Amino acid sequence: MDAEQLKLVAELPEKKSQRLDHFLSLQLKNHSRAFIQKLCVAGQILVNGETASPAYRLKGGESILITVPPPHLLQPEEIPLQIIYEDEYLAVINKPAGLVTHPGAGIDQGTLVNALLHHYQGKLSSLSGINRPGIVHRLDKDTSGLLVIAKDDKTHQGLSDQMKSRKVHRVYTAHLEGIMPQDEGVIDKPIGRHPVRRKEMAIVQQGKKAISHFKVIKRFLKFTLVEVNLQTGRTHQIRVHMAHCGFPVVADLIYNHKTTGTISARRKLGLSGQALHARNLSFHHPITGKLLEFAVALPPDFQQLLDSLEKSECRPV
């Protein structure tokens, strides 16, 4: 398949200037803004014959040439899905730990997207780009629990708007290393890329606003079970916030630098991922307006760990 070339003229309302990536994201409905930014960086978007950055300010009347490389054809795969709810517009999936949500960074098979392509035969929304059909939000590979996928672009846009306006409610169960002294609290710390380890996130002054509400469910001799309500949804938010407070998620291989943050410790605890589970999800159906609320139990390995701790080292809340 050959690369596709698109030619546009920048027609701006009332001659107001506009960022190049913002303008193109409005024109190219099948491609995400992040994808357009990558094309800019790769020199595949020309403005008046010259390469331009995503932040280039269009003034109106410019000639824009976009070269879209041929898509990497993702293969549908028959991977089991635990579908909690679905209708003609959307589906709610209970993702197991160990399953990557979407392709990226050299991973193009064995993901939730590959499973969705097989199950829904390509009838998925396209607003997140060619490698993320249907994906409205994501869960980390080693985090289990609920996420919603969209089958068409109108539904996807409605769900995305609720995400942005913080009308989608998500509650997680997290097992933390250490004894958290407060019964409840709010962590309001901005999150952005780690200044050195670029694949990691960190608390950084210039980061995006991130707010997590937590409440202790039970304390053990060395661990604390908490409920976390996300007010915002930044990448790795709970993991970064809890590690910053000194109580990292049990078996988190990136942010837990205590005793359980290793593969061997994870195996010893009998866990298939980190002890973080998206337990509750609620939102208004973007088409019908009906409030949808979902809850799923902890994965068996997570629950088994808690049961064993209950017998051996439980302490009062």
Contacts (Cβ under 8 Å, ≥6 apart) of 136: 125, 128, 147, 148, 149, 150, 156, 159, 160, 163
Residue range 243-289, pLDDT digits in tens: 999 999 999 999 999 999 999 999 999 999 999 999 999 999 999 99
Q: Which of 165, 200, 228 is the last residue in one of the domains? A: 165
Is 140 one of the catalytic residues?
yes
- Confidence tier at 79 by pLDDT (50, 70, 90): very high
What average pLDDT score do residues 67-86 get? 85
Higher pLDDT, 14 or 50: 50
Alpha carbons 27 and 31: distance in angstroms, whole number: 9
Alpha carbons 305 and 310: distance in angstroms, whole number: 9
Burial 52-84 (b: 16+ CB within 10 A, else e): bebebebeeebebebebeeeeebeeeebebeeb
Higher pLDDT, 276 or 17: 276
Q: Which of 68, 93, 118 is the last residue in one of the domains? A: 68
Residues 135 and 229 in one domain: no
Residues 170 and 252 in one domain: yes
What average pLDDT score do residues 131-149 get? 94
- pTM check: above 0.85: no
Sign of CA dihedral 98, 104, 110, 115: positive
Residues 119 and 29 in one domain: no
User: Which structural domain range is residue 156 located in?
Assistant: 72-165
Residues 82 and 152 in one domain: yes
Residues 194 and 205 in one domain: yes
Residues 153 and 294 in one domain: no
Residue range 298-311, pLDDT digits in tens: 999 999 999 999 88
- pLDDT for res 105: 65
Residues 175 and 226 in one domain: yes
pLDDT of 11 above 90: no
pLDDT of 315 above 60: no
- What is the domain-level CATH number for residue 35? 3.10.290.10
The neighbour count for residue 29, using CB atoms within 10 Å, is 10
- pLDDT for res 287: 96
Residues 309 and 178 in one domain: yes
Q: In what order do the strands lie in the sheet with 45-47?
A: 4-9, 63-68, 45-47, 50-51
Q: Quick one: residue 221, left, alpha or beta (phi over 0 = left, psi -120 to 50 = alpha)?
A: alpha
Q: Which of 165, 185, 205 is the last residue in one of the domains? A: 165
- pLDDT for res 216: 98
Residues 171 and 316 in one domain: yes
- What is the domain-level CATH number for residue 132? 3.30.2350.10
- pLDDT for res 17: 86
Residues 297 and 178 in one domain: yes
Q: Residue 62 is encoded by which pair of tokens?
A: 């410019």
Residues 183 and 315 in one domain: yes
- Confidence tier at 2 by pLDDT (50, 70, 90): low
- Confidence tier at 130 by pLDDT (50, 70, 90): confident
pLDDT of 113 above 60: yes
- pLDDT for res 304: 96
- pLDDT for res 15: 64
pLDDT of 317 above 60: no
What average pLDDT score do residues 193-209 get? 90
pLDDT of 78 above 70: yes
pLDDT of 41 above 90: no
Residues 161 and 174 in one domain: no
Domain count of the fold of the chain: 3
Provide, rounded to the nearest whole percent, the portion of the chain with pLDDT above 70: 95
In angstroms, the first-to-last Cα distance of the chain is: 61
Active-site residue (options: 87, 108, 140, 142): 140
